[in-house]
A = this chain, B = another copy of it.
Amino acid sequence: MAALSTTLPLNRDSVCSAHKVVKNHVHRTPVVTNQTLSELASTPTTVENLKDTRFAGRTPAKPVLRLWFKCENLQRIGAFKVRGAFYALHKLSEEPGWLEGGGKEKGVVTHSSGGEEKLKIKILLYPVHGNHAQALALAARENGIKAHIVMPEISIPAKINATKGYGANVIFSGSTSVEREAVTEKVVAETGARLVPPYDHPDIMLGQGTLGLELQDQVESSIASQVNPAGQALRGVYAAAANKTKGNKEGLDAIITPCGGGGMLSGVALSCEGTGIKVFGAEPSHQGADDAKRGYESGERIPTVSSLTVADGLRTPVGVHPWSVIFERRLVSGMYSVTDEEILKTMKLVYERMKMVVEPSACVPLAVALFDEDFRSLVEKEAGEEGWDLGLVFSGGNVAVDALGKLLAGEK
């Protein structure tokens, strides 16, 4: 990673600078609309449905929501992580002396983890760091930089092969995080490679934030031209998007992104600074994976998480740098969490209704829009009958397809 002294200030302009670099290497992923899911999100649930939930006894909220999905599951390597990886390597290559000192040959290193030690007995999904490892391997190859990826020996073959397929030097380690980090340090000592962490660095945050800029622009163009991103006239619930009298009249009113380490959430929040678009974070609540929400409410970052939530990309505590944006600068307006059951119910809806392959972590923001009565009440209160145009980030689509059936049948 480039030295912290070389990073740009954490603001919207810097996200725009990052986008100028990143857009040459990644897909401008499509934004997709969906009538059925927008109608579902705009339909109040019943008192009966709330009975056995944390919202028991409430009057169901009546929000009006037009949903706009940013499809980073269709991104290169199947996840948004390439944005941060490409930008991080660009900044590294600009660091004074790095190239001259043989930086490309010394290379970069990261380790792939994320609850994977539990893999043998649990779910067969790529963990978030699997996405980061593949993203780094790809970005390094395209920049002519050597990449070392430290992986537990028990990693699933598909993941090892994918990472090797991008030309990375895969180094095996034991399966605990202590063992992985020891091997990583050894690689750094022996090769001089630079560590590129998955989220806790300003360059990564700015890189991930570029998806927020695209999403804003794509929705604005759609509403202005009254044509949806698939090239058809905006119709049904979306027709009302052009007639708002309050909120952000010409585009999105709010965005929800998943929050694991917080790299994407903080980057997207920066991309919205000064636009009037509210940004919210979404987490799984299972076994305390809602660390950012709890931290946000108590005022103190929670540095460790140990959860086997089905949203395996979000089993990480929020990082120090993201936290400074999310909480200290209040660029995120609120944090919400949903149960694993709600995440899987949402995932099933996405497969059935949108015909999209998404990983469980990617479904968490939509689960908030559909099932979190706190969020839904907020929308009702703030937007009334006009409703909100709400951006939701489908962060990735990397699932081990063999395990999909069990997942979608509600088993973990």
Contact = CB atoms under 8 A, between A and B. Distances in A.
Contacts of A397: 355
Contact of A404 (B73, B78, B356, B405): B405
A30 interface: yes
A379 B171 CA distance: 42
A402 interface: yes
A121 interface: no
B357 A401 contact: no
A98 interface: no
A145 interface: no
Given A351-B404, A401-B408, A405-B406, 5 more contacts: A78-B355, A348-B401, A355-B356, A355-B358, A405-B407
28 contacts: A27-B230, A28-B230, A28-B231, A28-B232, A29-B230, A30-B230, A30-B231, A73-B355, A74-B355, A78-B355, A348-B401, A351-B357, A351-B401, A351-B404, A352-B401, A354-B357, A355-B356, A355-B357, A355-B358, A356-B357, A357-B357, A401-B405, A401-B408, A402-B405, A403-B405, A404-B404, A405-B408, A405-B409
| A29, A232, A352, A355: residue with the most chain B Cβ atoms closer than 10 Å | A355
Interface in A358-412: 358, 397, 401-409
Number of copies: 2
Nearest to A397: B355
A78 B355 CA distance: 8
A208 B115 CA distance: 48
Contact of A232 (B27, B357, B403, B405): B27
A349 to B, nearest CB: 10
A148 B384 CA distance: 40
Listed from nearest, the 5 A-B pairs whose CB atoms lie closest are: A405-B405, A355-B397, A355-B357, A401-B408, A402-B409
Contacts of A401: 348, 351-352, 404-405, 408
Contact of A402 (B30, B356, B408): B408
A291 to B, nearest CB: 29
A276 to B, nearest CB: 26
Interface string A224-236: 0000001110000
Contacts of A404: 351, 401, 404-405, 408
| A27, A74, A352, A403: residue with the most chain B Cβ atoms closer than 10 Å | A352
A352 to B, nearest CB: 6
A381 to B, nearest CB: 31
Contacts of A407: 405
